Every structure is written in structure tokens, then in C-alpha cells.
């Protein structure tokens, strides 16, 4: 299973300059890729292009060799799951369990009832993201970080082969961030993961591959230890960084 973007060019409607100008990347099981870049550099747009929600001006996104837009929605989401950064709050509230179960409804939507196997998967996913205790709560009563976990669970409940996460830890406390990192590591052997993040440390800690998006192109990519160096980060973020060594674990901080 493989999600490949090739030479993507995308211009926002009404904009003059393209936001993305020839970006290529590949997501496959066994590897966590991290995508970094400044605010407004087009990271979330890249995720939307790769999920097929947006269509590129030129270039292609293929899922297992077939253009992502040609897959039937049900077949596509069985393979590819996306966790958005922002989700509109619905008019009326659903419980945590209902919301996560909706991730399954996308796969089998003819009857409302879940098969025993689906129920098992639902319970398992709730447990995986430590939502079992919250499962009866209404999503509107949850904190931002808790809600992020609910939407992550809704994406994971179908056991997808590929997972795109747009800033999964932006509202998480350090303990939750740690748990998410370990969860991603646990999933990585079977699931191809792309994490969009501003958290350099998260990228250093869990990613096997890092891409720096700048000016509509990939400015640098490769091994995290090689890419996340002060000389690469300075032109992207416009501020100096320094790398420290904490007992063999690299730490990078803005100066």
C-alpha cells in the first residue's frame, strides 16, 4: 500500500502565486514521515490534495498506482485515513462512541448496526486512545485535546493502511503528546504515516523521514538528524536554532 504525490502544483482560487509548486512525496507502511514548515506554507493544503479533497492544478496523487480521485469513497477511506487539524463543530452533539463509530459507518453504511467484529474494533480503538471512560460523554463537553483524540480514533477505527495526521498534538498536553508518539511508533510497522507538525522534537523523536516545506517546494528532506539542522532551519523559519545533545538524544531549540 502506497500513497504517492508527484510534482504537485496548487494555486488557491483567486491567488496569483501557486501555494505549492512541484512537491513530491511518498507515504508507505513501515515509515513515519514528518512534514514541517511555517504557518501558511501549504502543509494542510498538501494533506487535502493527498486525501483527494482538493484537486491539484497539475501533478498527480496516486493510491496504490491509481489516481486517488478515481477510487470509490468507501474503498479509498478503507485504505487511507485523514485526521484534520480543524473539524467544524456539528449543530448537535454526538457522544464520543457515536463519533468514533461514524468512522465505521463510512465503510458499511447500509444498516445502522455494527457487526460483532466492528464492535470489537470500536472498543479496541476507544481503549487505544484512552477514550473508553469518556465514551458516553458528548463531544461538545470535551477539551480540545480530548476532541483531537476522538477524531484520531474515528480515523483509526477502520484500521487503515495509510494515515495522514494534520497537527495531531497541537492541543495535547505533554503526557498526551508522549502517548501519541508511542502510539504512532506502535502503528508504524503496518501503517504508513504522515505527520504534519510544528513540533520539531516530535519529528526528531518519532519520524523516520522529515520534509521541510518552504516557498512551495520541499526545501530539505531525509533523515531527521540530517535535515533538522540549524543551517537548514534558519532559511525556513527565519530564526537561528541550536542543537543540543541530551545523553545521546538530540534536542533542537530556537535560540
Partner 1 sequence: MKTARIILVYLAAALAAAVCGVLFGAARIPLSEFIQDDALNPIVELRIVRTAAAAVVGASLAVSGLVFQAVLRNSLAEPYLLGVSGGAGLGAAGAILLGFGAWGFMSVPLFALLGAVTANVLVFAAVRRRTAEELLLGGVMIGTLASSLLMVLITFSHSRDMAGVVWWMLGSVQNVDPARQLAPAAVLLCATTVFLLFRAGDVDLLTFGPEYAWNHGVNARVMTVVLLALASLLAAVTVSMAGIIGFCGLVVPHIVRRLHGGSHRKILVPAALAGAVFLMLADILGRVASPVRELPVGMVTAAVGCPVFLWLLNRSRAGS
In the complex, minimum distance from the CB of residue 106 to partner 1, in angstroms, rounded to a whole number: 3
Three-class SS state of 236: helix
Residue 105 vs 251, nearer CB to partner 1: 105
Least distance in Å: CB of 22 to partner 1?
A: 24
Mapped onto helix, strand or coil, the DSSP state of residue 55 is coil
Cα separation, 103 vs 8, in Å, equals 28
**Complete edge-to-edge strand list for the sheet that includes strand 58-63:** 20-27, 3-10, 58-63, 66-67
Q: Is 125 in the site for partner 1 (CB under 8 A)?
A: no
Residue corresponding to grid cell 467484529: 117
Site string for partner 1, 159-198 (x = CB under 8 A): ----------------------------------------
b/e per residue 28-49 (b: at least 16 CB within 10 A)? ebebbbbbbbeeebbbbbbbbb
Q: Which residues pair with 246 in a beta bridge?
A: 249
Closest to partner 1 by CB, 134 vs 220, is 134
The 60-79 contact track toward partner 1, x by CB under 8 A, reads: -------------xx-xxx-
Q: Is 15 in the site for partner 1 (CB under 8 A)?
A: no
Q: Does 106 bind partner 1 (CB under 8 A)?
A: yes
Q: Per CB under 8 A, does 81 bind partner 1?
A: yes
- Find, among 39, 116, 52, the residue nearest to 82 by Cα: 52
CB of 27 to partner 1, least distance (A): 15
Report the site for partner 1 in 28-67 (rule: CB under 8 A): 48, 51-53
Task: Give the burial string for 66-100 (b: 16+ CB within 10 Å, else e).
Answer: eebeebeeeebbbbbbbbbbeeeeeeeeebbbebb
| Rounded least distance, CB 70 to partner 1, Å | 12
Minimum Å gap between C-beta 66 and partner 1 is 16
Q: Which residues of this chain interact with partner 1, rule CB under 8 A?
A: 13, 48, 51-53, 73-74, 76-78, 81-84, 87-88, 90-95, 98, 102-103, 105-107, 109-110, 112, 140, 151, 154-155
Amino acid at each position: 500500500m502506497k500513497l504517492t504525490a508527484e510534482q504537485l502544483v496548487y494555486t488557491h482560487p483567486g491567488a496569483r502565486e501557486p501555494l505549492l509548486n512541484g512537491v513530491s512525496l511518498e507515504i508507505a507502511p513501515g515509515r513515519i514521515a514528518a512534514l514541517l514548515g511555517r504557518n501558511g506554507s501549504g502543509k494542510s493544503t498538501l494533506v487535502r490534495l493527498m486525501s483527494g479533497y482538493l484537486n491539484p492544478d497539475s501533478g498527480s496523487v496516486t493510491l496504490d498506482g491509481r489516481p486517488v480521485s478515481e477510487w470509490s469513497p468507501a474503498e479509498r477511506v478503507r485504505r487511507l485515513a485523514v485526521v484534520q487539524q480543524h473539524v467544524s463543530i456539528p449543530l448537535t452533539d454526538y457522544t464520543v462512541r457515536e463519533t468514533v463509530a461514524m468512522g465505521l459507518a463510512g465503510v458499511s453504511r447500509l444498516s445502522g448496526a455494527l457487526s460483532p467484529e466492528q464492535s470489537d474494533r470500536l472498543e479496541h480503538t476507544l481503549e487505544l486512545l484512552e477514550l473508553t471512560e469518556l465514551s458516553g460523554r458528548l463531544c461538545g463537553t470535551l477539551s480540545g485535546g480530548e476532541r483531537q483524540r476522538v477524531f484520531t480514533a474515528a480515523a483509526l477505527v477502520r484500521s487503515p493502511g495509510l494515515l495522514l495526521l494534520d497537527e495531531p498534538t497541537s492541543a495535547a498536553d505533554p503526557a498526551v503528546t508522549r502517548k501519541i508518539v508511542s502510539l504512532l511508533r506502535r502503528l508504524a510497522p503496518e501503517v504508513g504515516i504522515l505527520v504534519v507538525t510544528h513540533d520539531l522534537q516530535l519529528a526528531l523523536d518519532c519520524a523516520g523521514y522529515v520534509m521541510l516545506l518552504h516557498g512551495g517546494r520541499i526545501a530539505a528532506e531525509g533523515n531527521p538528524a540530517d535535515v533538522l539542522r540549524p543551517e537548514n532551519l534558519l532559511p525556513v523559519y527565519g530564526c537561528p536554532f541550536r542543537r543540543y545533545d541530551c545523553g545521546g538524544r538530540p534536542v533542537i531549540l530556537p535560540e
